[in-house]
């Protein structure tokens, strides 16, 4: 393939993408293929001779698309959103074309410097205290996912313990290190703790699904008495099940008092802080050591782009500094090398999509997107509340409504089975303390008022049978 061919095929690809977006409304949100469907449809070996572009594109539509769950369909309301927009896609094309691996400043100076700048833009945009990006050791880095961000933050917290206690690597006993999070924290926290062979203490949440701060304080005290080392506490802003918010001020005071590293996981909710009226939700963030959110969730940036800020990156940078000759460069004492801020060596030019999206949409359009999603969620909440057979089980603050049919869990389970079989919309469930409910998240930037009304009509009409079966 040469540049001329790219000119032709690239344009065709963009046409294909644009037509995909134009037809997404009519595509079934949830794929219905059976496991292994593709194995029988594709040949068992790679082709020896080049095939035609037209044949490949035909197979995309005929073989691949049936196996796609369309996350950007206006009828997709499962999980949390994943971002996308034309500036982000164009920036990723450019990133792929440049194809640099920006592990050190010299490996592509613009890759490092644009990322540093974008993390400052983004930090200011969400009103993150300047302690996270102004002091020499402070700063932001783009990780792939919130799960990686938690792991990286935990590695830094472990380094701090090692430094504080003046331990050598031989003395480290990870199993004595304890990480605290609420029972509503994302499973990736427990996973990071398992990976580092530490102990995870899940603190019970209160009736509003927020970490019980008194229980946290007692757990830390007990662990200290038993000779364990409280190492990190993860506070969540926007929990996965119900989008609840831990109290950063109260948790932060305890962490600072006990010298426990505090990490804030705002994977989904963090994007809402680009709107000043939602910044109150991160009150107390000044107590944290690290803060993370995923622009790739709700800020119209495509996967992967997870923003992580350190107040003091030196625990990460110095503790895992391997410096082989082939990676060294003359400026490494005066510039930042992102290879020290992450687990892998290689890294893509991801800041381009932040730069393109913020410039080409402007902050105002990004804010409009957040505000529109929240308004639609509030509209849906009203519709649910109008039906006496249903109840809303979360405090709807952002774009997630958790609802259920009143009474036994089996009614809501039955309802979700019917919704899934019907296939017009896609929703997933969750359960807290034995109470099963259905999550309705506003995900796609295509979703409008009509879609929300239609989704509710579908749910209501599918629920009618269930009520009748129960009643008669």
Q: How far is the CB of 297 from ligand PLP (least distance, A)?
A: 7
Of 107, 112, 188, 412, the residue at the interface with ligand PLP (CB under 6 A) is 188
Q: How far is the CB of 150 from ligand PLP (least distance, A)?
A: 7
Site for ligand PLP in 74-103 (CB under 6 A): 80
Size of the site for ligand PLP (CB under 6 A): 15
Within 165-298, where are the H helices?
A: 187-195, 213-225, 248-258, 295-298
Q: How far is the CB of 185 from ligand PLP (least distance, A)?
A: 7
Instruction: Closer to ligand PLP by CB, 188 or 229: give it.
Output: 188
- Count of C-beta atoms within a 10 Å radius of residue 20: 16
Phi, psi (rounded to 5 degrees) for 308:
-125, 130
Instruction: Closer to ligand PLP by CB, 105 or 180: give it.
Output: 180
Q: Contact region for ligand PLP (CB under 6 A) — 6-14, 141-149, 170-178, 339-347?
A: 141-149
Angle between helices 351-386 and 449-471 (to 10 degrees): 40
Instruction: Closer to ligand PLP by CB, 245 or 390: give it.
Output: 245
Give the distance, in angstroms, between the CA of residue 262 and the centroid of all CA atoms in the same chain.
Answer: 19
Judge residue 403's burial from the number of C-beta atoms within 10 Å of its C-beta, 0-12 exposed, 13-18 middle, 19 or more buried. buried
Of 186, 411, 414, 439, the residue at the interface with ligand PLP (CB under 6 A) is 186
For residue 39, give Cα distances in angstroms to 31, 34, 53, 65.
16, 11, 21, 15
Instruction: Closer to ligand PLP by CB, 24 or 307: give it.
Output: 307
Q: How far apart are the first and last CA of the chain?
A: 68
3-state DSSP assignment of residue 341:
helix
Is 312 an interacting residue with respect to ligand PLP (CB under 6 A)? Answer: no
Instruction: Closer to ligand PLP by CB, 188 or 313: give it.
Output: 188
Is 240 an interacting residue with respect to ligand PLP (CB under 6 A)? Answer: yes
Is 147 an interacting residue with respect to ligand PLP (CB under 6 A)? Answer: yes
Of 92, 223, 265, 451, the residue at the interface with ligand PLP (CB under 6 A) is 265
160 neighbors 315 (Cβ within 8 angstroms): yes
For residue 18, give Cα distances in angstroms to 23, 98, 270, 365, 466.
9, 23, 29, 20, 41
Q: How far is the CB of 254 from ligand PLP (least distance, A)?
A: 21
Instruction: Closer to ligand PLP by CB, 108 or 147: give it.
Output: 147
- Count of C-beta atoms within a 10 Å radius of residue 151: 21
Instruction: Closer to ligand PLP by CB, 95 or 306: give it.
Output: 306
Half-sphere exposure of 397 (CA within 13 A, CB side): 19
Q: Contact region for ligand PLP (CB under 6 A) — 70-78, 112-120, 224-232, 233-241?
A: 233-241
193 neighbors 247 (Cβ within 8 angstroms): no
Of 145, 174, 256, 409, the residue at the interface with ligand PLP (CB under 6 A) is 145
Of 91, 233, 267, 281, the residue at the interface with ligand PLP (CB under 6 A) is 267
146 neighbors 188 (Cβ within 8 angstroms): yes
Q: What is the DSSP string of 381-437?
A: HHHHHHSTTEEE-S---SSEEEEEESS-HHHHHHHHHHHHHH-SSB-EEEEETTEEE
Is 290 an interacting residue with respect to ligand PLP (CB under 6 A)? Answer: no
Is 294 an interacting residue with respect to ligand PLP (CB under 6 A)? Answer: yes
Q: Contact region for ligand PLP (CB under 6 A) — 67-75, 265-273, 335-343, 388-396?
A: 265-273
| DSSP bridge partners of 403 | 392, 438
Instruction: Closer to ligand PLP by CB, 107 or 188: give it.
Output: 188
Is 198 an interacting residue with respect to ligand PLP (CB under 6 A)? Answer: no
293 neighbors 245 (Cβ within 8 angstroms): no
Q: How far is the CB of 267 from ligand PLP (least distance, A)?
A: 4
Q: How far is the CB of 238 from ligand PLP (least distance, A)?
A: 6
> How far is residue 232's CA from residue 229's CA, in Å, rounded to a whole number?
9
| DSSP bridge partners of 389 | none
Q: Contact region for ligand PLP (CB under 6 A) — 49-57, 245-253, 263-271, 378-386?
A: 263-271
> How far is residue 295's CA from residue 301's CA, in Å, rounded to a whole number?
6
Instruction: Closer to ligand PLP by CB, 80 or 437: give it.
Output: 80
Q: Contact region for ligand PLP (CB under 6 A) — 107-115, 154-162, 231-239, 336-344?
A: 231-239
Of 91, 122, 126, 146, the residue at the interface with ligand PLP (CB under 6 A) is 146
194 neighbors 150 (Cβ within 8 angstroms): no
Q: How far is the CB of 371 from ligand PLP (least distance, A)?
A: 21
Phi, psi (rounded to 5 degrees) for 465:
-55, -40
Of 71, 268, 291, 436, the residue at the interface with ligand PLP (CB under 6 A) is 268
The DSSP 8-state label assigned to residue 352 in this structure reads H
Of 306, 342, 373, 444, the residue at the interface with ligand PLP (CB under 6 A) is 306
Instruction: Closer to ligand PLP by CB, 248 or 462: give it.
Output: 248
- Interface residues toward ligand PLP, by CB under 6 A: 80, 145-147, 186, 188, 236, 238-240, 265, 267-268, 294, 306
């Amino acid at each position: 393939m040469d540049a001329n061919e790219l000119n032709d095929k690239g344009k065709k690809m963009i046409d294909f993408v644009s037509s995909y977006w134009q037809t997404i409304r009519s595509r079934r949100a949830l794929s219905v293929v059976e496991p292994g469907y593709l194995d029988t449809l594709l040949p068992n070996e790679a082709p020896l001779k080049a095939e035609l572009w037209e044949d490949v594109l035909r197979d995309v539509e005929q073989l691949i698309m049936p196996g796609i769950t369309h996350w950007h369909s206006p009828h997709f309301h499962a999980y949390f959103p994943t971002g996308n927009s034309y500036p982000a896609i164009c920036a990723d094309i450019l990133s792929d074309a440049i194809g640099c691996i920006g592990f050190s400043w010299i490996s592509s100076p613009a890759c490092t410097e644009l990322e540093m700048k974008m993390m400052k833009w983004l930090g200011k945009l969400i009103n993150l205290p300047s302690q996270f990006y102004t002091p020499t050791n402070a700063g932001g880095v783009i990780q792939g996912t919130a799960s990686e961000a938690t792991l990286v933050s935990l590695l830094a917290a472990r380094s701090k313990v090692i430094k504080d206690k003046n331990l050598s690597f031989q003395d480290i006993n990870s199993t004595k290190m304890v990480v605290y999070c609420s029972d509503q924290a994302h499973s990736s926290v427990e996973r990071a703790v398992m990976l580092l062979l530490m102990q995870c203490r899940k603190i019970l949440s209160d009736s509003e699904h927020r970490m019980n701060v008194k229980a946290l304080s007692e757990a830390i005290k007990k662990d200290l008495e038993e000779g364990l080392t409280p190492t990190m506490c993860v506070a969540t802003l926007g929990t996965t099940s119900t989008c609840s918010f831990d109290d950063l001020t109260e948790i932060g005071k305890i962490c600072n008092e006990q010298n426990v590293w505090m990490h804030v996981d705002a994977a989904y909710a963090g994007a809402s802080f680009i709107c000043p009226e939602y910044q109150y939700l991160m009150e107390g963030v000044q107590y944290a050591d690290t803060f993370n959110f995923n622009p790739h969730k709700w800020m119209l940036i495509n996967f992967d782009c997870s923003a992580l800020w350190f107040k003091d990156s030196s625990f990460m940078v110095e503790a895992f500094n391997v410096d082989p000759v082939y990676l060294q460069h003359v400026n490494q004492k005066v510039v930042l090398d992102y290879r020290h801020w992450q687990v892998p060596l290689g890294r893509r030019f991801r800041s381009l999509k932040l730069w393109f999206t913020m410039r080409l949409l402007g902050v105002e359009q990004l804010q409009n997107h957040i505000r529109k999603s929240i308004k639609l969620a509030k509209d849906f909440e009203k519709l649910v509340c109008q039906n006496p057979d249903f109840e809303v089980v979360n405090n709807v603050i952002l774009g997630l409504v958790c609802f259920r049919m009143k009474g036994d869990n089996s009614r809501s389970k039955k309802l979700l089975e019917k919704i899934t079989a019907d296939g017009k919309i896609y929703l997933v469930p969750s359960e807290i303390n034995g109470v099963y409910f259905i999550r309705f998240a506003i995900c796609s930037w295509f979703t409008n008022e009509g879609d929300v009304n239609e989704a509710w009509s579908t749910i209501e009409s599918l629920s009618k049978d269930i009520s009748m079966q129960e009643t008669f």
